[in-house]
Each structure stands twice: as C-alpha cells, then as structure tokens.
Amino acid sequence: MSDMGLSIAASGLAAETAELDTASNNLSNIDTPGYAAEQVDLSPEAAGGPYGAGQGVIIGSVSQLTDAVYEAGNIAAEGVQGAATQTQQIMSSVESIFPEPSTGGIASQLSTLWSDLSSLASNANQVGAEQAVVGAAQSVATSISGSSTQLSQLASSLQSQIGSGAGDGGTLAQANSLLAQVAHLNAAIVAGSAGGQDVNALTDEDRSAINQLASLLGVSSSSASNGSLSVYLNGVQLVAGDVAQTLGATGSAATADLGVVTSDGVAVQAGGSIGANLTGVNATIPSYQAQLNSVSDSLATSLNTLQANGMDANGDPGSAIAGGWAGTILPNIFVNNGSATTYTTSPADPDSAATIELSPALLANPSLIATASAPGAGNSNVIGTPTLDGTNAQTMAALASSPTGADVVYQSMIGALGTQAADATAASTTASNLATTASNNLSAISGVDENSEEVDVLAAQNAFQASSQVVSAITSCFQSLLQAV
Amino acid sequence: MTVSSLALAQTLTNQLSLQESNIAQIQQQLATGQVLNQPSDNPAAVTQVLALSSQASQLTSWQTNADTATSWLGTANNTANSALESMQSAQSLLLQSLNQGAQDPTTYEALGDQLNGIVSNLLSLSNTQFEGRPIFAGTSATTQAYDANGNYQGNSDVPTVVIGPGSGVGQTVGMSVPGTTIFGVGASNVFATLTTAATALLSGTPTSAELNTALDALTANISTAQQAAAVLGDSSQEVTSASSSLTSQVARIQSDQSDLEDVNVATAMTQLDSETTNYQAALWAASQAIPETLVKFIAP
C-alpha cells in the first residue's frame, strides 16, 4: 500500500474511460448494418490487499453481444427474402407482358377476329369484311409473337442481371467480390487476434458481407474458433479461411440451362436473388413460352386446316382439296416468319409463338380467305366457280367457343399466370415479415438501444467523477502528511 | 426484450410502406374504375371475365347476324308477297278470259299484253337485290337471279347466318330462299307458264284447253310460292325470338362482367378512408415514438 489507493482509483478511471469509449462507439454505430453492440468485460482484481480490501478493477476485453442461433436465423431469412422479392419482381414483369383484362389484350383481339369472321360469313365477297378479318388476324399474330419476344427479352435481361461472374457489374460479380472480401477479412481477423488486437470491427464487416451474400445467394455461415467465418452454399464451401471460390455462370437463357459453378468446377444450387433469377430463366419463363406456343399452335392449326379445306369467293381451292387444280391455290392464314408458306407447331418449332405471322400472300390479297365450304353434299359449290357461300367462314367464327380453341388455352394461361403472380406477392410479403422478425430477434441481442447506452454513459460519468474524487482525497491526504513532516 | 433504435426505425418503415402500397392499390382501382387491373389481382375472376368477354363478343356477333337476317328476310317477305299478288292477278286474268267465253281477238291480245306486263314485273321482283346481292340467287355469285328469258342463274343453296349456340357452327337460319322455290323450276316456272299463256292470248284465238292448262300450271306455281312465303315467315319468327333472347343474354353477361371487374365506388371509398386513417395513425405514432429517448430528459 505504497500509493494509498491511487492505483486502485486509476484502475477505476481507466475502466470508466473504457465504458465511455464503448458507449460512444455503440452510439456512433447505432445505424450501422451488421454492427453488434459491444460491452466492456470488467472483473474485480482478485488479489486482495492488506486487511482483505480489493485492489481495483480489471478490464478484460471489449466483447460483442451476439447469438449464433439468431445470427443463422437472420442469414437464412435474408436468403429467403432475397429470393422471394426477386421472384415477385420477375412475376410482375411477366404479368405486365399480358395486360389482362383489357381491350388491347390478346383475348379481346381473338374475339375481334372471330366476330370479323362472322361478319365475313354473311358478306363473303365484300372487300371491307375481308380486310377486317386479315387486319384482326394480323393483330393477333403480332401480339402473340410480340409477347413471346418480350418473354425472351425478359429472360435474357435476367441472365445479364446475373452476369458472368467476372467484373461486369452483375450480381454474380457482386457475390464474388463479397466472397473475396470475406476471405480477406478472415485473414485479417486471424492475424489481428494472434497479435492481440481488437478485431470486433473486422468481424462486423465480415458479418455485413455475409448478410449481403445471403440475400444474393442464400448462403449460410459458421464461425471457427480463431474468429474466421466460413461460407457455405447448399453444402458447398465457398469460403474456407482466407480462400474464396470464384463463381461463374454456365449455360444461357436461350437454352434454359443457366447455372452457377465454383472455380473448382462444382455446380451449386444458388438461392437468394440469383437463385430466383435462375428459376425465372430456366423454368418460369420457358413455361409461359410453352403455353403461348400452345395458344399460337391452336389458333394457327385450326384456322389453317379450315383454310386448306375451303374455297374463297372466287372459287380458288384450299391446298387440301386442290387436287390437280392449275389455278390459284389458297395460302395458309398463319405462317412462321422465315418460312413464309407453312406453320410448324411446337415442339418441332420451339419458337412457334415467337415467329407466328400473317401469311404475306394473304396480306397482299385479303380475298384469298376460304369463306366457302369445299364442294360436297349440302352445297352446290364447284372449284373454280365464284360463290357467296359463307359456311366455311361460319365454321371459322365458331372456333370462338371451341373447348380446345386458342381462347380457352389463353384464358387458362392467364389464370395460371395470375395465380403464380399472386402467390409470389404473398410469398414476398411473408418472407419480408419473417426477415423483419429474424432481424428484430437478433437486434434484441446485438442491436444498440439508445436509452440503455445513455444510462451507461451517465453511470460511467458518475463513476468517473467518484473515482476522480477519490484521487483528489488521496492527494489531499498526501499533502497533509507532507506538511506535517 | 430490447428494441434497438435501428429495429424500431425499420419496423416503422416497413409498416408505413405496407400501408402506402394498400392506399396505392385502392387509388389505382378508383382511378381505373376496375378492380381487376392485372391477372394477379384475382386470378379466378380474371379468367372468368375473359371467358365472359369472349361469350359477349360471340353473342354480339350473333346479334349482328340476326339483324342482317331480319333485313334480308324483311325484303324477301315483301318481295314474295308482291310476287304472289302478281301471280294472283294473272290468275284472275286467265279465269276472266275462260269464263267470258269466246271473245274477239283484240280483247285476247289486250289480256296477253297484260300478262306480259305481269311477267316483266315478276322478273324484276325475282331480281330484287339487298346490298348489291340478288336475294333469290342462293349462294351463287351471279349478279342476276333470273335472266331476261326467265332462266334461273342461281343455285339451290340457302344463304344462312348463325344466330345462336348449337351443334356444329351453331343455330343457323336461312336469310332467304332460292328463286326456284318461289317461282318454280325450269320449264314449269311461273315465267314459262305466263309467257306461254300470253303467247296463246296474243294469237287472238286461244283454245280453252290452252287456257285451262295455263291456269292449272299457274295454280301450281301459286301454291309453290305460298309455301316459300310460309318458309320465309317461319325464318322471320325464328330470328325475332332468337334476337330478343340474345339481347337479354348480352345484358346478363355484361352485368356479370361488371360485377366482377368494376369498382364498387362506395366500398373503395370506405376502404380508402379507413386505410388513410390507419396511415395517419402510424405516421403520428412514428412522429411521437422516434424522437423520444432519454437524451431529451438529460439536462445539458
């Protein structure tokens, strides 16, 4: 007891300074994402002095308030939310390609086509009625092929959003730079803690990077005893210590086999927003392309068949009943662009909807529509003889209520699209609520609460003042003693 | 449980944005007047609305067809009745010449001229057109149903339109009848009958056998024309009843459609009101909760 308790008071002053520093740091980082609140670990000096009085306080370290379970839950929820939000955006983009119900949609264009055919049936040789049918058919074909092209464009924009993984600003490149950052921080954490430095700030950065990775890829993480964090994606380790894998894209939107591989060549099942894009490109959009192909195929096949088996008002026969007819033979109504004379259905032509167009020959000469039925029982039609028979046009118009017609196929496609989009919206809301809950749970442990920090500051301030008072008292004792000598 | 300042702020932000999106949705409904603005708004209702619109469009087509048929049948009925009247006046001319016994040739010739006049009147009736198309030529593309000599140029097919649902293309109705069903077929048609009679009369010395033959033939022609007029009358009735049923069906479908897709303004306004109140309450709560911390009460 050589200094009359000055060293004990000094340890108190140091401890309260550490408390003030920590509270100040916590308050500064109150809005920092990924920041875990810190606390000073204090313990009384064990060795007792004379008469058993304590020897002051020991500042152990400044530790972070975290909980491994809540951390993992938060990262998982981030991944689910990343995927759900992106899926919802994809579905709403798909939905915007099919604006139904509206007067400009494919459904109402089909209806216009059928009613124009119905008018043509009773005005078989009227130029206006023929042109109306050709115009309506062209609008339907343009809308179908336009929608199909828009779907393809959406798929390729989703692919470019992911990018190749190299520095192209895509989300995969973003993920790679985060993975590299985690590996780099791991190295710094291991080196720092070996050198006895405070690595809390590095751990915060590491955690923030992993949270972003979770949202992008749906990763999970675990921490090693040396403080470094490992990153896993569905069982594949992406970051081990200071070594990070680089992710790259394989396949393409055009072939619906877009995927992600590590630099070791291992294919990984991505989650998060990248996973949602992969699902959109590989499954969702191709499924709507296929349904649109069915709409297109049903329309083109049914009308082309009737066209091939009928005659126009001039008596020109369709291809199926032409026989050896030397004159004009009616062209198909719908063709695939590029081939100009025939229409190939999917799957033989996987782009049947994208390429459907009105036959150029019919566009040039709208009178070549098979309004009349083929010669046969119940009519007096003769190939080569003009006729005002409109019964074939009536049959075409009756496709409006065909149970397998383009209208029904299109309606069920819109129903499926609406359901999927509504589900995606609901899933996104749920995921966002879950993420908020997970983040609130975590923040109850490791978040910074302004009020409790204020209380800590006041307490530290009071304690500091008290210790200062002790120093002042001891000093005054020393002076009295010195004057007495 | 500790609620960190960051969590408090995030929770408030999430709630506010949820309420904003609810308000935006109701505003969109009120602005467009439609509850269904995209398929996901109500997938089942959207599918139903599409099916109803498609039905409504088909019903409207049938209605248009029924209107066309009404116009055609109106013209065909009037013409058939005029033709019948002409045939009946020819019949009374022939009866007159038979009953009055032998007359001097000039009287017969005058009657013959009158008959020829009736023939040309009937010919012009038989070539009646509707919108540029001879209505009694069947489905033929000819410009005339009968040539100047009374020879039929058309075919025997009845032009039809679809005016309602049914098997095949639907319920079809004839818009007219082929000329032969009114005016008779080939050498026994009314033109041949009357021309023969007129020739006999114009000779000045028709035999009563000649006149009797002509009268019998004309009576047969009249009965044929009466049957055709009855067919046209039946078609007219069929069209009228189909047309009124179509009108009520279209009205019903439009009301179904409107129930599904149109905004109930009163409901939407009430919802908007309640959402706005909630939103204001949340904003007020945020304004009260966020600034309150211990700092405010610590004297500097």
Task: Verify that A340 and A386 share a domain, yes or no.
Answer: yes
Q: Where are the alpha helices (DSSP H) in B37-129?
A: 43-99, 105-126
Residue A2 has pLDDT above 70, yes or no: no
Contacts 24+ apart (CB under 8 A), A170-176: A171/A216, A171/A273, A171/A274, A171/A277, A172/A247, A172/A248, A172/A249, A172/A260, A172/A274, A174/A216, A175/A213, A175/A216, A175/A217, A175/A247, A175/A274, A176/A244, A176/A246, A176/A247
Q: How confident is the model at residue B228 (pLDDT cuts 50, 70, 90)?
A: very high
Question: pLDDT digit string (tens) for A385-406?
Answer: 999 999 999 999 999 999 999 9
What percent of chain A stands above pLDDT 90?
71
**Which residues of chain B from 37 to 96 reach within 8 Å of chain A, CB to CB?**
38-44, 46-47, 49-51, 53-55, 57-58, 60-62, 64-65, 68
What's residue B1's pLDDT?
62
Domain that holds residue A274: 72-78+164-278
For B164, the enclosing helix (H) or strand (E) is: strand B160-164
A34: CB partners within 8 A, 6+ apart: A204, A205, A207, A208, A211
C-alpha triplet A424, A420, B46: angle, nearest 5° = 120
Q: Distance between CA A392 and CA A333 in Å, rounded? A: 14
Instruction: Write the residue in A411, A421, A447 that is nearest to B6 by C-beta.
Output: A447
| Domain shared by A143 and A291, yes or no | yes
Q: How many angstroms separate the CA atoms of B155 and B137, rounded?
A: 6
pLDDT digits (tens, 9 = 90+) for B248-273: 999 999 999 999 989 989 999 999 99
Coil, strand or helix: which one is B21? helix
Q: For chain B, how many residues are written?
A: 300
The distance of B286 to chain A (nearest Cα, Å) reads 16
Give the 3-state secondary structure of residue A310.
strand
* B295 CB burial (10 A radius; 0-12, 13-18, 19+): middle
Residues A386 and A335 in one domain: yes
- Inside any domain, residue A91: no
> Across the interface, do A401 and B139 touch by the CB < 8 Å criterion?
no
In this complex, the residue of B2, B156, B298 whose CB is nearest that of residue A447 is: B2
Interface of B with A in 234-273 (CB under 8 A): 261
B47-81 burial string, b = 16+ CB within 10 Å, else e?
bbbbbbbbbbbbbbbbbbbbebbbebbebbbebbe
Q: What is the pLDDT of residue A1?
A: 45
**A182 and A50 share one domain:** no
Do residues B195 and B140 touch, judged by C-beta distance below 8 A? Answer: no
State how many domains chain A has: 3
A9 and A59 inside one domain = yes
Same domain, A306 and A396: yes
Tokens standing for residue B30: 């009120």
A125 shares a domain with A23: no
Name which of B47, B60, B133 is nearest A415 (Cβ-Cβ): B47
Question: Is residue A468, in this structure, part of any structural domain at all?
Answer: no
Q: Which residues of A touch B161 (CB under 8 A)?
A: 121-122, 390, 394
Task: Name the residue facing B65 among A95, A118, A448 (closest C-beta).
Answer: A118
pLDDT at B12 over 80: yes
Residue of A nearest to B130 (CA): A123
pLDDT at B293 (0 to 100):
76
Q: Report, as an integer, the average pLDDT of A280-295.
A: 96
Instruction: For residue A422, list chain B residues with Cβ-Cβ distance below 8 A.
Output: 40-41, 43
Pairs of residues, one from chain A and one from chain B, whose beta carbons lie less than 8 Å apart: 206
The CATH class of the B46-259 domain is mainly alpha
CA A390 – CA A398 distance, rounded (Å)? 12
pLDDT at A340 over 80: no
Asked if residue A87 belongs to a domain, the reply is: no
Q: Tokens 């609406």, residue?
A: A418
Asked if residues A39 and A60 have their Cβ atoms less than 8 Å apart, the reply is no
Q: What are phi and psi of A326, to 5 degrees?
A: -90, -15
Residue type, B37: N
Q: Which residues touch A153 (CB under 8 Å, ≥6 apart)?
A: none
Interface test with A, best of B169, B249, B262 (most A CBs within 10 A): B169
In a domain, A184, yes or no: yes
What pLDDT does residue B220 have? Answer: 94
pLDDT tops 80 at residue A77: yes
- Domain residue spans in chain B? 46-259
What per-residue confidence (pLDDT) applies to B299? 64
Q: Does A177 lie in the same domain as A130?
A: no
Which residues of chain A lie closer than 8 angstroms to B157, CB-CB? 378-381, 389
CB A214 within 8 A of CB A82: yes
> In angstroms, how far is CA A334 from the centroid of its own chain?
36
- Per the prediction, chain A carries an average pLDDT of 92
Average pLDDT over residues A432-445: 88
A98: number of Cβ within 10 Å: 24
CB contact under 8 A, B298 and A458: yes
Is the Cβ–Cβ distance between A315 and A384 less than 8 Å? yes
Residues A94-120 have a mean pLDDT of 93
Say yes or no: A299 and A252 in one domain: no
The Cα A115–Cα B59 span in angstroms is 9
pTM of the model: 0.86
Give the residue from B20, B48, B53, B246 with the most A CB atoms within 10 Å of its CB, the best one to mutate.
B53
Angle at B138 between CA B132 and CA B143, to 5 degrees: 35
pLDDT level of residue A48 (50, 70, 90 thresholds): low
A188 — contact with chain B (CB < 8 Å)?
no
Quote ipTM for the complex: 0.87
Average pLDDT in chain B: 90
Tell whether A445 is covered by a domain: no
Query: What does R_g of chain B's alpha carbons equal in angstroms?
Result: 39
Whether A105 and A133 share a structural domain? yes
Instruction: Check residue B277 and give its pLDDT.
Output: 93
Identify the CA nearest to A110 among candidates A137, A129, A135, A131.
A137
Q: Verify that A213 and A240 share a domain, yes or no.
A: yes
Q: Is residue A420 part of a domain?
A: yes
Dist CA A15 CA A9 (whole Å): 10
A347 and A394 in a single domain? The answer is yes
> Closest Cα of chain A to B59: distance in Å?
9
Q: Per-residue b/e over B212-223, b at no fewer than 16 CB within 10 Å?
A: eebbebbeebbe
Which band of pLDDT confidence, cut at 50, 70 and 90, is reported for residue A452?
confident
Per the CB < 8 A criterion, the answer to whether A426 and A420 are in contact is no
CA distance A8 to A50: 13
Any idea what DSSP says for residue A283? I
Would residue A484 count as lying in a domain? no
Find the mean pLDDT for residues A352-375.
94
Residue A441 lies in a domain: no
Domain boundary among A237, A262, A278: A278
Cβ distance of B155 and A417 shorter than 8 Å: no
User: What's the pLDDT tens digit per position in B184-219?
Assistant: 988 889 999 999 999 999 988 888 898 899 999 999
